A and B are shown apart, each in its own frame.
Chain A
Amino acid sequence: QQPVQSPQAVILREGEDAVINCSSSKALYSVHWYRQKHGEAPVFLMILLKGGEQKGHEKISASFNEKKQQSSLYLTASQLSYSGTYFCGTEDFEGKLTFGQGTILTVHP
Protein backbone atom coordinates (compact mmCIF):
# COMPACT_ATOMS: atom_id res chain seq x y z
CA GLN A 1 0.00 0.00 0.00
CA GLN A 2 1.29 3.42 -0.99
CA PRO A 3 2.16 5.95 1.71
CA VAL A 4 0.02 9.07 1.76
CA GLN A 5 1.60 12.47 1.14
CA SER A 6 0.27 15.92 1.95
CA PRO A 7 -0.17 18.48 0.64
CA GLN A 8 -0.60 17.48 -2.99
CA ALA A 9 0.82 20.81 -4.18
CA VAL A 10 2.65 23.80 -2.72
CA ILE A 11 3.41 27.20 -4.24
CA LEU A 12 6.17 29.31 -2.68
CA ARG A 13 8.13 32.48 -3.25
CA GLU A 14 11.91 32.23 -3.09
CA GLY A 15 13.09 32.25 0.49
CA GLU A 16 9.89 30.78 1.96
CA ASP A 17 9.72 27.51 3.85
CA ALA A 18 7.64 24.40 3.25
CA VAL A 19 6.86 21.10 4.95
CA ILE A 20 5.80 17.94 3.14
CA ASN A 21 4.28 15.12 5.16
CA CYS A 22 4.23 11.38 4.59
CA SER A 23 2.32 8.74 6.52
CA SER A 24 2.06 4.98 6.31
CA SER A 25 -0.37 2.45 7.71
CA LYS A 26 2.31 -0.19 8.26
CA ALA A 27 5.44 -0.53 10.37
CA LEU A 28 8.44 0.93 8.62
CA TYR A 29 12.12 0.12 8.46
CA SER A 30 13.10 3.35 6.73
CA VAL A 31 11.77 6.37 4.89
CA HIS A 32 13.29 7.74 1.68
CA TRP A 33 12.75 11.13 0.05
CA TYR A 34 13.33 11.85 -3.65
CA ARG A 35 12.81 14.81 -5.97
CA GLN A 36 11.86 14.56 -9.61
CA LYS A 37 12.20 17.30 -12.22
CA HIS A 38 9.87 17.26 -15.20
CA GLY A 39 10.88 14.61 -17.74
CA GLU A 40 13.65 13.22 -15.55
CA ALA A 41 14.11 10.32 -13.16
CA PRO A 42 13.70 10.79 -9.40
CA VAL A 43 16.87 11.77 -7.53
CA PHE A 44 17.75 10.84 -3.95
CA LEU A 45 17.46 13.42 -1.15
CA MET A 46 17.29 11.71 2.24
CA ILE A 47 17.09 8.39 4.05
CA LEU A 48 15.82 8.12 7.62
CA LEU A 49 16.20 4.88 9.53
CA LYS A 50 14.57 3.51 12.62
CA GLY A 51 16.64 4.67 15.52
CA GLY A 52 17.18 8.16 14.19
CA GLU A 53 20.01 7.83 11.70
CA GLN A 54 19.84 10.14 8.70
CA LYS A 55 21.74 10.45 5.47
CA GLY A 56 21.19 13.02 2.82
CA HIS A 57 21.07 16.53 1.47
CA GLU A 58 22.88 19.40 3.20
CA LYS A 59 20.15 22.01 2.92
CA ILE A 60 17.10 19.82 3.37
CA SER A 61 16.14 18.13 6.59
CA ALA A 62 13.58 15.54 7.57
CA SER A 63 12.14 13.78 10.57
CA PHE A 64 10.82 10.26 11.14
CA ASN A 65 8.34 9.40 13.86
CA GLU A 66 8.61 5.62 14.11
CA LYS A 67 5.67 5.17 16.45
CA LYS A 68 3.28 7.06 14.18
CA GLN A 69 4.88 5.82 10.94
CA GLN A 70 5.14 9.40 9.76
CA SER A 71 7.86 11.48 8.18
CA SER A 72 8.16 15.14 7.27
CA LEU A 73 10.49 16.87 4.82
CA TYR A 74 11.51 20.45 5.70
CA LEU A 75 12.52 22.80 2.91
CA THR A 76 13.90 26.05 4.30
CA ALA A 77 14.78 29.25 2.45
CA SER A 78 13.54 27.74 -0.79
CA GLN A 79 15.35 28.33 -4.06
CA LEU A 80 14.07 28.18 -7.62
CA SER A 81 15.97 24.90 -8.02
CA TYR A 82 13.76 23.29 -5.34
CA SER A 83 10.84 23.17 -7.79
CA GLY A 84 9.78 19.67 -8.72
CA THR A 85 7.76 16.74 -7.47
CA TYR A 86 8.75 15.28 -4.11
CA PHE A 87 8.16 11.63 -3.32
CA CYS A 88 8.41 9.84 -0.04
CA GLY A 89 9.21 6.15 -0.14
CA THR A 90 8.53 3.79 2.71
CA GLU A 91 10.50 0.60 3.16
CA ASP A 92 9.04 -2.35 5.05
CA PHE A 93 10.95 -5.08 6.84
CA GLU A 94 11.01 -7.25 3.71
CA GLY A 95 12.87 -4.64 1.69
CA LYS A 96 9.91 -3.48 -0.36
CA LEU A 97 10.15 0.25 -1.14
CA THR A 98 6.88 1.89 -2.16
CA PHE A 99 6.28 5.53 -2.98
CA GLY A 100 3.54 8.03 -2.37
CA GLN A 101 1.63 9.94 -5.01
CA GLY A 102 3.98 12.91 -4.86
CA THR A 103 3.84 16.58 -3.85
CA ILE A 104 4.31 19.20 -6.56
CA LEU A 105 6.42 22.10 -5.30
CA THR A 106 6.62 25.31 -7.33
CA VAL A 107 8.95 28.12 -6.30
CA HIS A 108 8.47 31.54 -7.90
CA PRO A 109 10.98 34.42 -7.96
Chain B
Amino acid sequence: NAGVTQTPKFQVLKTGQSMTLQCAQDMNHEYMSWYRQDPGMGLRLIHYSVGAGITDQGEVPNGYNVSRSTTEDFPLRLLSAAPSQTSVYFCASRATRSYNEQFFGPGTRLTVL
Protein backbone atom coordinates (compact mmCIF):
# COMPACT_ATOMS: atom_id res chain seq x y z
CA ASN B 1 0.00 0.00 0.00
CA ALA B 2 1.22 3.49 -0.84
CA GLY B 3 -0.95 4.97 1.93
CA VAL B 4 -1.86 8.64 1.42
CA THR B 5 -0.10 10.32 -1.48
CA GLN B 6 -0.01 14.02 -2.32
CA THR B 7 1.20 15.85 -5.38
CA PRO B 8 3.02 18.10 -5.90
CA LYS B 9 5.47 18.21 -2.99
CA PHE B 10 6.38 21.83 -3.66
CA GLN B 11 4.60 24.55 -5.61
CA VAL B 12 5.12 28.25 -6.21
CA LEU B 13 2.19 30.30 -7.48
CA LYS B 14 1.62 33.92 -8.34
CA THR B 15 -1.23 35.81 -6.72
CA GLY B 16 -4.45 35.14 -8.60
CA GLN B 17 -3.42 31.83 -10.12
CA SER B 18 -5.49 28.73 -9.52
CA MET B 19 -4.33 25.20 -8.96
CA THR B 20 -5.35 21.81 -7.61
CA LEU B 21 -3.53 19.89 -4.92
CA GLN B 22 -3.98 16.18 -5.48
CA CYS B 23 -4.60 13.63 -2.74
CA ALA B 24 -5.17 9.91 -3.11
CA GLN B 25 -5.34 6.95 -0.73
CA ASP B 26 -5.37 3.23 -1.46
CA MET B 27 -6.67 2.00 1.89
CA ASN B 28 -10.38 2.24 1.02
CA HIS B 29 -10.86 4.84 3.75
CA GLU B 30 -14.21 6.60 3.97
CA TYR B 31 -13.01 9.71 5.77
CA MET B 32 -10.63 12.20 4.14
CA SER B 33 -9.58 15.67 5.25
CA TRP B 34 -7.41 18.61 4.24
CA TYR B 35 -5.43 20.62 6.79
CA ARG B 36 -3.11 23.57 6.52
CA GLN B 37 -0.22 24.07 8.88
CA ASP B 38 1.22 27.48 9.68
CA PRO B 39 3.78 28.34 12.39
CA GLY B 40 2.10 28.70 15.77
CA MET B 41 -1.34 27.85 14.38
CA GLY B 42 -1.20 24.09 14.52
CA LEU B 43 -3.20 22.05 12.02
CA ARG B 44 -6.33 23.78 10.82
CA LEU B 45 -9.08 21.87 9.08
CA ILE B 46 -10.02 23.22 5.64
CA HIS B 47 -12.56 20.70 4.31
CA TYR B 48 -13.42 17.13 5.07
CA SER B 49 -15.42 14.25 3.59
CA VAL B 50 -17.12 11.29 5.24
CA GLY B 51 -17.64 9.41 1.98
CA ALA B 52 -17.79 9.70 -1.79
CA GLY B 53 -20.12 12.51 -2.79
CA ILE B 54 -20.16 14.07 0.69
CA THR B 55 -18.05 17.06 1.70
CA ASP B 56 -18.27 19.65 4.43
CA GLN B 57 -16.43 22.74 5.58
CA GLY B 58 -13.84 22.87 8.30
CA GLU B 59 -12.48 25.86 10.21
CA VAL B 60 -10.84 27.74 7.34
CA PRO B 61 -12.68 26.88 4.08
CA ASN B 62 -12.63 30.28 2.36
CA GLY B 63 -10.69 30.30 -0.89
CA TYR B 64 -10.73 26.51 -1.25
CA ASN B 65 -13.01 24.03 -2.97
CA VAL B 66 -13.14 20.25 -2.73
CA SER B 67 -15.00 17.40 -4.35
CA ARG B 68 -15.13 13.67 -3.64
CA SER B 69 -16.24 11.77 -6.72
CA THR B 70 -14.44 8.56 -5.71
CA THR B 71 -13.44 6.96 -2.43
CA GLU B 72 -9.76 7.19 -3.38
CA ASP B 73 -9.35 10.84 -4.42
CA PHE B 74 -9.93 14.13 -2.62
CA PRO B 75 -8.48 17.09 -4.56
CA LEU B 76 -8.21 20.57 -3.06
CA ARG B 77 -8.67 23.52 -5.42
CA LEU B 78 -7.33 26.98 -4.80
CA LEU B 79 -9.58 29.28 -6.79
CA SER B 80 -7.48 32.46 -6.84
CA ALA B 81 -4.29 32.10 -4.83
CA ALA B 82 -3.40 34.74 -2.25
CA PRO B 83 -0.18 35.19 -0.21
CA SER B 84 -2.19 34.27 2.91
CA GLN B 85 -2.53 30.78 1.47
CA THR B 86 1.20 30.19 1.70
CA SER B 87 1.36 27.14 3.94
CA VAL B 88 2.05 23.43 4.20
CA TYR B 89 -1.00 21.41 3.23
CA PHE B 90 -1.67 17.92 4.58
CA CYS B 91 -4.22 15.47 3.29
CA ALA B 92 -5.34 12.74 5.68
CA SER B 93 -7.59 9.70 5.69
CA ARG B 94 -9.08 7.21 8.13
CA ALA B 95 -11.33 4.21 7.84
CA THR B 96 -14.39 5.44 9.76
CA ARG B 97 -15.00 7.56 12.78
CA SER B 98 -14.65 4.86 15.41
CA TYR B 99 -11.36 3.82 16.88
CA ASN B 100 -9.39 4.44 13.72
CA GLU B 101 -6.18 6.37 13.45
CA GLN B 102 -5.80 9.03 10.85
CA PHE B 103 -3.02 8.67 8.29
CA PHE B 104 -1.41 11.81 6.91
CA GLY B 105 0.13 12.33 3.52
CA PRO B 106 3.67 13.76 3.23
CA GLY B 107 2.42 17.31 2.66
CA THR B 108 2.58 19.95 -0.06
CA ARG B 109 4.57 23.11 0.59
CA LEU B 110 2.86 25.97 -1.23
CA THR B 111 4.26 29.46 -1.67
CA VAL B 112 2.14 32.24 -3.14
CA LEU B 113 4.06 35.30 -4.31
A contacts, CB < 8 Å to B: 1-2, 5, 29-30, 32, 34, 40-44, 47, 49, 53, 55, 87, 89, 91, 94-102
Contacts and interface: CB of A to CB of B under 8 A. Distances in A.
Contacts of B58: 96, 98
Given A30-B98, A42-B43, 20 more contacts: A41-B106, A41-B107, A43-B104, A44-B101, A44-B102, A47-B100, A49-B99, A53-B99, A87-B42, A91-B97, A94-B56, A95-B31, A95-B50, A95-B97, A97-B33, A98-B44, A98-B45, A99-B44, A99-B45, A101-B40
Interface string B16-50: 00000000000000010101000011111100101
Contacts, number: 67
Given A49-B99, A97-B48, A2 B42 contact: yes
A23 to B, nearest CB: 14
A106 to B, nearest CB: 16
Interface in B94-113: 94, 97-107
A32 B101 contact: yes
A47 B99 contact: yes
Contacts of A102: 42-43
A97 B56 contact: no
B109 to A, nearest CB: 10
A42 B90 contact: yes
Nearest to A45: B101
Interface of B: 31, 33, 35, 40-45, 48, 50, 56, 58-59, 90, 94, 97-107
A16 B59 CA distance: 36
A42 B107 CA distance: 10
A72 B100 CA distance: 19
Contacts of A41: 90, 104-107
Contacts of B105: 41
Given A41-B105, A49-B99, A100-B42, A95 B48 contact: yes
A41 B31 CA distance: 18
